[in-house]
Structure 1
């Protein structure tokens, strides 16, 4: 039996015959189980997801009756009872969601554009509608998969350009860009497609339209990738490369991540609103593309650091960091094409530590000359104090308070004059820095307002947020944080266990 939850939930026999799964709650139950194939799903979680937080009077009995109906549809052996819950007897490969994930990852890793295009096509063909469409409130989980789908669409279009199919890709790119006018990676692909199709004047006009749209909506300029592309359009390489119009490679972590070009650093530095590019100690132009591959992402503080201590308030971590090297690279690529990146995932997934490691890794070569600043929102109880917390973290307050209550913070703001957000924007207006906005979910509205204001008023500011739900700010790029694979999780457990109890070994348990 196979299961489809990329759209309306379906069960399909191995011979392709569909199984009738009627009723919204029955499909919601199938979706909740198929989202966790082969794992026991607690009864309380199933009730919460199927009834959207409003359970019936006798919830366990109602769920048991619903399970009985599902068993009649898909077979008794397909849904197993277990202590404390139920389990769908299926492998990840039996669920279209995870087949899509495998195919998209394989496409992103291949260096052959034709193979990448074929795998992306196969992966995207599995989508029949919104992910987890039958859950009453799919929330952050659906947003995670929509973000992966967006990456796959960009990758497929980038592969098409690499194969010389710019003219064929243009209609889809034009339609996507019309629906997502603030998606700079998509806009860059459309501009490249126009250029590669032999329409450079239209490409320049498209860039100008994007620039004006960003200025009107967000009060900001295009990002480094778009500005570098604009420089290429104005100064097309004649003999610098074998091909006059090098196409993006689909495996370079998304459609706009290009092989490093010497002119990219100078293009970003020559923009009138940017700080002059500073020379790097090893002689290369700086700042480098934030999405450059990072090879050292292990424990914090291991080995000598050849770069000067950066500005900011990041503190050295005192424990090892394992298994997230690919995540760090991908987050760098996200930051290369978006000014707001949100790490999305449940509590305990490791979002905070990952944000710190990724920021430090990509700042090591001068990514943010004015530093990386960590703003911890977990202790903030009142949404009105979010901007004050950011002011304190960035050292923008004249008075430092120890153990101050929320009333004292607001009294300080009154004495200093001006709203906290205005003082924060004034402090950041002429700086190029990265703000880590941590634990946004319990003050999500205020965090979103802070992010939108800073991005609109401070062109040199980027934000890397961690949250259990999206901020919903225009231009936000969502990056799901997946659980660690078992071997890496066990290695992390071994490190922590040995630190707490000498001689601890996972093999002994």
Structure 2
């Protein structure tokens, strides 16, 4: 005979037909005996399983009567005599445990967990789970044992999902796992499997939404953060998602003049070094050089302006579009630097950090960490001083050569005063007074809207006026 307790409690006769067991008390009694098939179950254990903590008066006598009726029902269904044995210690269902579905379930799941072959494990788990036709004991007896079996069933479902993910069944799992996570909304392992199924199906955005939902639920209902396993699934979804476009490099309105040598040196430095810093005084054109060389890189480029901030990590997060994704690093607090390290771990990127001089220490700390953890990252910084990190390649940016400075002035002057040809001698005097600083020269050329080049040169001949213009140019960068 066969016995089923993983769902409706039934006994199947030798010909496979169901035995008429009668009411819930007899079926509950059979379920308790079948749970320990082949072993003696005490009368007290049977009474507790049938009635809980408050058995009725005469429960022992009633149990004897129920056993007698169960024997008769089984015998009528074709069972041999002595199937339910009585001993001094209690009662025993004298059958092979393999004749009871719960014992086959436990054997199959144990074998599935031990096999290293995912395909074999998949077949074993599928066979074991097919034995379930509803809640264990069908609600007839022993709620604690039923709860334990329900947990065993759910653990097997989770293990089976992991095996199926290993076999690449991502798309087929999504609907099933969605239904299970609705039924068990705080079950982190199920949610992690759903996220991996979504990510493997190319639906990383949905996986991130699933994570955000359970993270909020855990915080609201349990006051906890997601465990490491779920956080790892979240990180995998982030890496599988299409990268959020980084802030693009600004497009200059005018061309770069007289910096061919520096551009070549900078391109070479970026090819050979992961950290390059353009150094020089304010107004020397460091930002313009960085803007000019960045688009030549084949990798993605993100431009971050730091002149107006003291919170470097959050500013970089915002520029990279990572702030709203809320990257969670397993085992660590979700600080901005942690989010950056996680979000850039597998992302080839040139990160341009502009105007670092007032936050050199903060930039150095962040760059040191990111370069150490993000293999595909390169950093180009502009600063009046070096970051002071090991491996940093410095590219000094100084004054323009005389010819280049004069050409820059002439080009900018032609833009603001078309048709006016400034006196070459005055142009040389202007560029010399401004020490060849590109931005100061551009600002001086703008004065030609209202005065001649000679007038500008005369005013700049006064050292104080030249100094004011150079300081203004430096402050403007």
More helix by share: 2
Q: TM-score, normalised by structure 1?
A: 0.45
Higher Cα Rg: structure 1 or 2?
2
Q: TM-score, normalised by structure 2?
A: 0.48
Larger RCO, structure (CA 8 Å, separation 6 or more): 1
